[in-house]
Amino acid sequence: MQEAKGLLSLNRIYRILKDLSINPSTESINKKYRDFSTFALRISVMFADDRLFDIIPRLETQLEIVRKYAPGVRPALDPYTSSQIGVFSKIDPDAEIGHFLDYPDCCIKSFSEKTRYGIDKSHIEELMKLPRQKGEKIFVATAGFIPCSALCKKARARGLVAILNRSEEENLKSLEGELSMALPHFHPEYQNHYYEIKRI
């Protein structure tokens, strides 16, 4: 179901972090989180050192808000949480961070091979080539995620991009506003900005 995708996708990240917060063994981390085990191990050590004590309650607040709005696309993970666990720090390989965030391999590969900054001209060109649909539409992507193609089916299936009716724009903007109010943080690029939204 389209509406549940944003919530399901955020809930997956929450469940991983919750699991890492209860001191799983290295062996189980390696087994369960094979695609991002270095990153997951580092997070579990930070939890054990009590350096991430405030992120689980923040994510629970984020989930509660996201549940109310039922967006078809996942908003960016709480930027404070992302900073604390090292998503932006470049310590771990991009591919591990990408797998943790459930980005598809095709998108991880295109991000590492081409230098792309957000939704760019070629994404827009792909969208412009689509047969005209009824009504005005918006293209929505999770902020920080750069799809290999605006039409990437895997990214769509994972609730990272979608083409939605323009009426959905208000809903997403309200969600962004409520998240900003409830979960203040200091990341300059993610102030009131949990989605990339382009009118098409």
The reply on whether position 150 binds Zn ion by CB under 5 A is: no
Who contacts 5 (Cβ-Cβ below 8 Å, separation ≥6)? 71, 72, 73, 74, 158, 159, 162
* CA atoms 85, 90, 95, 98: torsion sign: positive
Q: Are 68 and 46 in contact (CB under 8 A)?
A: no
As measured in angstroms, the least distance from the Cβ of 95 to Zn ion is 13
Distances (CA, A) of 74 to 71, 82, 119: 7, 15, 16
Reduced to 3 states (helix: H, G, I; strand: E, B; else coil), residue 197 is: strand
What does the alpha-carbon distance between residue 95 and residue 108 come to, in Å, rounded to a whole number? 6
**106 binds Zn ion, rule: CB under 5 A:** yes
Stretch that binds Zn ion, among 37-45, 151-159, 176-184, 192-200 (CB under 5 A): 151-159
- The C-alpha atoms of residue 105 and residue 177 are separated, in whole angstroms, by 31
Kindly state whether residue 160 participates in binding Zn ion, applying the rule CB under 5 A: no
Closer CB to Zn ion, 119 or 152, in the complex = 152
Q: In the complex, what is the shortest distance from the CB of residue 155 to Zn ion, in angstroms, rounded to a whole number?
A: 5
Residue 137 pairs in a beta bridge with 165
Nearer to Zn ion, 19 or 126 (CB): 126
CB of 121 to Zn ion, least distance (A): 18
Which of 152, 161, 162, 175 binds Zn ion (CB under 5 A)? It is: 152
Taking CB under 5 A as the rule, does residue 148 contact Zn ion?
A: yes
Whether 6 and 65 have beta carbons less than 8 Å apart is answered as: no
* Residues making up the chain, counted from first to last: 200
Member of 10, 29, 101, 107 binding Zn ion (CB under 5 A):
107
Query: Is position 75 an interface residue for Zn ion (rule: CB under 5 A)?
Result: no
How many positions of this chain bind Zn ion (CB under 5 A)?
5
Whose Cβ is closer to Zn ion: residue 126's or residue 178's?
126
Where do contacts with Zn ion occur on this chain (CB under 5 A)?
104, 106-107, 148, 152
